[in-house]
Structure formats: structure tokens, C-alpha cells
Amino acid sequence: VFIVHPDQSEQVPAMVERYKGVIAGRNGTVHRLEDWGRRQLTYPIQKVHKAHYVLMNIECENETLAELEHSFKFSDAVLRHLIVKMPKAVTSPSPMMKEEKSKSLMERGAEGRPADIPA
């Protein structure tokens, strides 16, 4: 997971493509990529209250992981990053995406209901 400064939100797709290129260039695999969008931070980071979240589940060599971590550390756009090593690849949607999907389905269901019929 990496968190991007909100002023750099337009750059997120290019950043993701660059990171995917690094991974693919070294025979790595991206198993899951989720753009969680701009969200409220629990506490301010560098006087910023909202940031853009991106989740990447990848499989790669240690050298590739070190290069990605170096890129995260020295990028001014990345406010925070977290790398967790897992025993095997996780490809199912994250709880965050499941929550978003259920919210959107609930909103669509509420919009489709006629106003004069009680729920």
C-alpha cells in the first residue's frame, strides 16, 4: 500500500505504470491492483488531511522489492508506504473494495426505488 499526496492524484496512474514496469522488467507479477482513491486520513501527515491510496499485491525478487521501496522512500509524492511479505499471493478483492462495492450496490438499489413506495 502506498499513500500519495492529494496534489499528485493526477500522477497516480503514471506512478502505478512505472512501478508495474519495474516489476515486469524483473520477471515479477502484479496479482492485484486496487486504486482506493482519495480518502480521509486518520491523522494529518505533513499538514495534509486527505490522500490517494493504492494497493498492489505483487510477487517479485528481493532486489525488485528493494528498488520499489527505494522509489517509495525518495518520491516526494508518496507520503507513506507499507510493504508486507506474505507466504503466498492474495488475489481476492480487499475488504476495502468489497465495502465500496456493497455501498455502490446499496446506492443503486435506493436510487432505483420509486419515491412513493415505502421501503
Q: Which domains are seen in the chain, by residue range? A: 2-112 (3.30.70.60)
The pLDDT of residue 111 is above 70: no
How many angstroms separate the CA atoms of 56 and 16, rounded?
Answer: 9
Indicate whether this model's pTM tops 0.85.
Answer: no
Please state the φ and ψ torsions of residue 54, each to the nearest 5 degrees. -135, 135
The model's pLDDT over 74-86, given as tens digits with 9 standing for 90+, comes to 999 999 999 999 8
φ/ψ region of 114 (left if φ > 0, alpha if ψ in -120 to 50, else beta) reads beta
Average pLDDT over residues 18-40: 93
